[in-house]
Amino acid sequence: MATDASESRPSPPTRFGARRWLVLIMLCASQFMVALDFSIVSVALPTIGRDLGFSSTADLQWVMTAFILFIAGFLLLFGRASDLFGRRRLFLIGVALFTVFSLAGGLADTPWLLILARAGQGIGAAMVGPAAMSLLTTSFREGPERQKALSVNGAVLMLGFIVGVISGGIITGALSWRWTMLLLAIIGAIVFVAALALLEESKDANAARLDVPGAVLATAGILSLVYGISTGDSAGWDSPATIGTLAGGVVLLGLFLFAESRHPAPLAPLDVLRRRSVKWGGLAGFITFGMCGGATVLETLYMQDVLGWSPLRTGLSLIPLGGSAVIGGLIGNKVIGALGVPRALVCGLLLQAVATGLMTLLPEGGDFALLIVTNIGLGFGHVTAVIAFNITVTSGLPNDKQGLAGGLAQTAQQLGSAVWLPVLAAVVTARTASLQGSGTTVSATTGGLHAGLLTAGLIALFGALVATIFLRGRQTATATAAPVTAGVND
């Protein structure tokens, strides 16, 4: 019986050769590109709406919803497809699609063309994410090598989000919102060329045919859930359309699990989904991504709507968050070496919960020192949790399941970002409305944001509790990892 990822203690770290560093940088750059896309475009939304003549805020939100919908909906499918048909092949196709549609988005002159381009970017990103993760986990051996690689990846992922927030306002103001898209196309082209030169094919040598019924049910179920949650605020959470869409998503995913139990070569084998490291680790990842993204959005609203700061000043104020995340990623391997994977996951979530909870002390007049301290804690805690989460979900599985593991990890990430923000926004809206008659608009807004931040902190604390109960001190049977087949040498 092998020890689960949550039980393994890393041995001293190993050194990477020049080629392996280049591969790691290239794979991290692809993740940076996707994270940058999400934040850089969100900052530019008001300018995009005015320039292209979107008729309403609800229509403008489709610029983000189209991307989120398709990346979340297709991650599981493309994660397994990368195992079956080739990780390098799917990675290259995904980067090419992302690059082409980024260029198309930068050149779009009507709302529908931009939304179509964003959907194309989402499909490309859904190929890139799990393929990049599985290429990383099969290129670096389980243990110190993989932990070091995932630490760097976690830092770069958070850096992409923060750079997008900061640069989105600068680029939009100095040049044009179109350059936010064109920049993504340039990065995509560089990653594509690098991948051609550095990567060799990696896939399951005994690949079975793709589970088409499972793929259809899983994709349709996730699409239905994400669509219902993304449009719930505008359509009304109690509207028949929202309730029907959410219920349909639950039913489809239930049918997916039933179909997987009957299929000889399932898209997501139930023995993998039942693994404690996948099930409970995935829940922890779902929480840490959603609560960090939600807290970041709420604190940017605090800076702009309560303190009256400009988007540029708001973005620059997030530098401590990005800086602590980068530092956390760079030393993450050492932290995990000292604590072990499960304790690192618990401690990361606890630090994230405490930092988010302390944001409820931010006053109407502002407290820059408290803002910096809480951002540092949030960034460091979140990245520590992300690294431990990725190690937990991907460890102990053979190489022919690493694409699936990458797809599951990325799905938890994207669903966390898509699902939790509307929930926190609903808490903020409800609390703000209840305070409207008892004070000023600013005080009501502050109270609403405090309620949302407190909720985010409590949910992160719940994630730490889940990791403590179900991932610490547990042993599960794991498959023996297959030999490294990614074709990356020192």
Tell me the domain boundaries of the chain.
18-207, 211-266, 271-477
Does pLDDT of 474 surpass 70?
A: no
- pLDDT confidence tier of residue 40, bands split at 50, 70 and 90: confident
Give the C-alpha separation, 415 to 407, whole Å: 12
Q: Closest Cα to residue 365, out of 292, 438, 308?
A: 308
Does pLDDT of 57 surpass 80?
A: no
Give the C-alpha separation, 326 to 288, whole Å: 16
Q: What is the average pLDDT value for the chain, to the nearest integer?
A: 84
CATH code given to domain 271-477: 1.20.1250.20
More confident residue, 342 or 64: 342
**Kind plus residue range of the DSSP H or E element containing 368:** helix 368-394
- The reported pLDDT for the residue numbered 204 is 62
DSSP state of 306: I
Q: What is the pTM of this model?
A: 0.82
Superfamily of chain region 18-207: MFS general substrate transporter like domains (1.20.1250.20)
- Give the tokens for residue 258: 């039933």
How many C-beta atoms lie closer than 10 Å to residue 322's C-beta?
21
Q: Closest Cα to residue 229, out of 209, 249, 253?
A: 249
Give the Cα-Cα-Cα angle 481, 486, 489 (nearest 5 degrees).
110
Q: How far is CA 58 from the centre of its chain?
A: 23
Span 302-340, pLDDT tens digits: 988 899 887 778 878 888 988 898 888 888 888 888 889
DSSP state of 366: -
Give the C-alpha separation, 191 to 197, whole Å: 10
What mean pLDDT is predicted for residues 341-367? 95
Q: Where are the beta strands (DSSP E) in 258-331?
A: none
- Contact in structure between 375 and 320 (CB atoms under 8 Å): yes
Span 83-122, pLDDT tens digits: 888 889 999 999 999 999 999 999 999 999 999 999 999 9
